[in-house]
Amino acid sequence: MKEIRHAIEEFKNSGKPVVAYLTYALTSDYYLASAADEIVLDPYGVILMPGLAAQPMFFAGALEKYGVGVQVARVGRYKSFVEPFTRTDMSDESRAQLQQLLDDVWEVVLTDVADSRGKSPLELQALVDSEGLVRPEAALKGGLVTRVAYRDEMIESLKKATRSEGEETFKQVALADYSRVAKDAAEPALASKAAAVTSGRRGTIAIVYAEGDIVDGDSDQPGNVAGVRFARELRKLRQDDSVKAIVLRVNSPGGSVSASEAIQREVRLAREKKPVVVSMGTYAASGGYWISAYSNRIFAEPSTITGSIGVFGIQFDVQRLANNFGVTFDGVKTGKFADALTIARPKTEEEMAIFQRMVEWIYGEFIGKVADGRQLDRAHVEEIAQGRVWSGVEAKALGLVDEIGGLDAAIAYAAQEAGLKSGYRLVEFPRKKEFAEAIAEMVEKMAPNNARATGVLGEVETRLRSELKVLNSFNDPQGIYARLPIQITIR
């Protein structure tokens, strides 16, 4: 959202006005709208921007009640991803890091909004603290909006501005039409995958999107970064002489260690032949940081969530659950640890010691890779690791990030490092969806058979789906993960 907001500000700087119309505006809505020249709020609308809050959901009580056992091996005081399965509340370390993270992100929101509205962050904080739900009168008096008007009044003003008086509505461009125009206008700069292979005259910069959980294998399922598949894509770009630099856009909480290492290996090999620059999005943490560490340069936004340098393994068993239903297990084996990965019983102390040694070894490797890739002292990395998450601002101060900036800044740096002048081409991987594809997907999601509960029940269902779906991405062959300890949902 900060990058979109920056784009709005650049548009304003071109001398063209930006108008925002709000009805029920959440923090994210108002954060974007605050960059507009004119902000209009419905007379019965409201701005809900009270601050940031995090309320993790814990399942330990439910797992205990239904007889599901959980055993954990982890390294890092702040590696709290496993806590929802082993505790009923936050640990002191988890609470401290989450509070610091929210404070940092909220400071970014306050500062950006206050600057745009000609106020100080303290004034803005005082307003939201006194109002909670900011109603139109208070929003206008406090300078959060420029006027209060109904939608039809807003349309009438736009008709005047576009000299469309007497018409049914104001002059405008339909989204589908604009999409085609924008695509045509961008064609010289943004090439297709096929064109990239043949275009070497001016050089090509490849933007590769690592979006979602890092999983093992070759799956192309949306929301996942499959290690084998992603590494293959990087290998092709490394071997393509027309590609002069790679920008890796990381928006991932991490996941499988083996998949992260497969991707990082290709990043290291690619860097030997051409610049590899990382642009961090909402988060690039744990495994997301693992794949970033060896790039030439790391760019992040002030509110990017990064770090979380830690490792854990989690083992479930259903022995008591099964026994409660009269189901029992028996078996034979050819070795002492042949059934160590079973879910039919809890792990023995000796088996858990093996898992712990593996986790500690992976953690040591993670520390070493960060120290080597970022040219940091190992003792310093050990101090700032421990599974702790950091904001982009803090990460820069600690040496985990090189520069504060968005994707555009990363692209400009990559072009500079590759010696490319203006006129270079950009190609994106995976291929961007055509407009028709995006619309079709949207319609499919709105279909009745995908209907879900609404209201309070719908919110509970959404939270459960969000918290539990990540378990589907736990497919590392060693059962060891480097993953962000929290799920990020912007409301």
Bond before 302 cis per omega within 30 degrees? no
Compute CA distances 227 → 178, 205, 214, 273, whole Å.
36, 22, 7, 21
Averaged pLDDT score across all residues of the chain: 86
Single-letter code of the amino acid located at 376: L
> Which of 311, 304, 266, 268 has the alpha carbon at shortest distance from 287?
311
By the 8 A CB rule, do 39 and 33 touch?
yes
The stretch 129-154 carries a mean pLDDT of 94
Rounded to 5 degrees, what are φ and ψ at 135? -80, 165
Residue whose structure tokens are 């940091």 = 376
**Of residues 173 and 288, more confidently modeled:** 288
The stretch 460-482 carries a mean pLDDT of 63
Q: Is 286 a catalytic residue?
A: yes
By the 8 A CB rule, do 237 and 246 touch?
yes
Which residues lie closer than 8 Å to 278 by C-beta, 6 or more apart?
A: 247, 248, 249, 250, 284, 292, 295, 297, 298, 299, 410
Q: Among 170-184, 252-266, 328-342, which is the least confidently predicted range?
A: 170-184
Q: Among 164-173, 193-202, 291-300, 316-325, which is the least confidently predicted range?
A: 193-202
SS3 of residue 476 by DSSP = coil
Which residues lie closer than 8 Å to 367 by C-beta, 6 or more apart?
A: 309, 378, 381, 382, 385
398 pLDDT more than 90: yes
Tell me the pLDDT tens digit for each residue of 185-205. 554 444 444 333 334 447 899
SS3 of residue 431 by DSSP = coil
Which residues lie closer than 8 Å to 403 by C-beta, 6 or more apart?
A: 297, 298, 299, 300, 396, 409, 413
The rounded percent of the chain whose pLDDT value lies above 90 is 60
Tell me the pLDDT tens digit for each residue of 119-134. 999 999 999 999 988 9
> Which of 256, 84, 332 has the alpha carbon at shortest distance from 342?
332
Q: Is 263 left (phi over 0), alpha (psi -120 to 50) or beta?
A: alpha
Dist CA 241 CA 274 (whole Å): 9
By the 8 A CB rule, do 310 and 386 touch?
yes
The stretch 1-13 carries a mean pLDDT of 91
Give the count of beta carbons closer than 10 Å to the beta carbon of residue 52: 15
**Per the residue annotation, which of 79, 347, 369, 396 is the catalytic one?**
79
Q: How buried is residue 349: exposed, middle or buried, by Cβ count under 10 Å (0-12/13-18/19+)? A: exposed
By the 8 A CB rule, do 430 and 211 touch?
no
455 pLDDT more than 80: no
Pull the structure tokens for residue 400. Answer: 């985990």
pLDDT value, residue 190: 42
The stretch 246-261 carries a mean pLDDT of 94
The stretch 268-284 carries a mean pLDDT of 96
DSSP code per residue over 141-191: HTTS-SEE--HHHHHHHHHHHTT-TTSSS-----HHHHHHHHHHHHTTTEE
By the 8 A CB rule, do 198 and 236 touch?
no
Dist CA 349 CA 182 (whole Å): 61
pLDDT value, residue 436: 53
Dist CA 186 CA 207 (whole Å): 15
Rounded to 5 degrees, what are φ and ψ at 487? -95, 130
pLDDT band at 362 (very low <50, low <70, confident <90, very high): very high
By the 8 A CB rule, do 220 and 211 touch?
no
437 pLDDT more than 90: no
Residue whose structure tokens are 């990020």 = 488
pLDDT value, residue 289: 96
Q: Which fold has domain 182-483?
A: 2-enoyl-CoA Hydratase; Chain A, domain 1 (3.90.226)
pLDDT band at 431 (very low <50, low <70, confident <90, very high): low
Dist CA 297 CA 280 (whole Å): 11
Q: Where are the beta strands (DSSP E) in 216-268?
A: 224-226, 243-252, 254-256
pLDDT value, residue 390: 94
Pull the structure tokens for residue 244. Answer: 């002069």
Q: Where are the domains of the chain?
A: 2-54+93-175, 182-483
Which residues lie closer than 8 Å to 353 by C-beta, 6 or more apart?
A: none
| Max intra-chain CA distance, the chain | 86
Q: Is 422 a catalytic residue?
A: no
Residue whose structure tokens are 């208070």 = 138
The stretch 334-338 carries a mean pLDDT of 87
Pull the structure tokens for residue 89. Answer: 């509340």
Give the global pTM: 0.76
pLDDT value, residue 346: 93
Residue whose structure tokens are 């990363």 = 410
Q: Which fold has domain 2-54+93-175?
A: 2-enoyl-CoA Hydratase; Chain A, domain 1 (3.90.226)
Pull the structure tokens for residue 385. Answer: 């690791």
222 pLDDT more than 90: no
Which residues lie closer than 8 Å to 459 by C-beta, 6 or more apart?
A: none
Angle between helices 435-445 and 175-186 (to 10 degrees): 140
The rounded percent of the chain whose pLDDT value lies above 70 is 84
> Which of 319, 417, 265 has the alpha carbon at shortest distance from 69?
319
Residue whose structure tokens are 């539990």 = 468
**Per the residue annotation, which of 94, 286, 292, 303 is the catalytic one?**
286
